[in-house]
Amino acid sequence: MGGEEVKLIMEVRVDIDPEMEDEFNEWYNNVHVPGIVNCPGFISGRRYRSVRGEPSYMALYEIESVDALKSDEFNEESGWYQFESHIKNFSWNLYTQLSEYVKE
């Protein structure tokens, strides 16, 4: 990691009630992730769907520091809004990078 500043990865995992899945994915992909990534201290965001097991969905956000989670903008953008009562198996965590290997 050669002197570069260590970034953090924020992982968010969640399931959604099946009857809300299409609407939830539309909102998450086109409103929520872009809104979160535009907050100060956020670098990128990606979503994934599980190929097996639960929860079904995971989002990974690269952030500059824990301070990114303390901004007014993040507090306004975070949350499940109209989907709150349909969310299941929600968890999140922060990770710091220990090592990196890039194929040449």
The rounded distance, in Å, linking the Cα atoms of 54 and 63 is: 25
Q: What is the pTM of this model?
A: 0.90
Cβ proximity of 101 and 13 under 8 Å: no
Domains defined for the chain, CATH in brackets: 8-96 (3.30.70.100)
By residue count, the chain amounts to: 104
Q: What is the pLDDT of residues 11-68, one digit of tens each?
A: 999 999 999 999 999 999 999 999 999 999 999 999 999 999 999 999 999 999 999 9
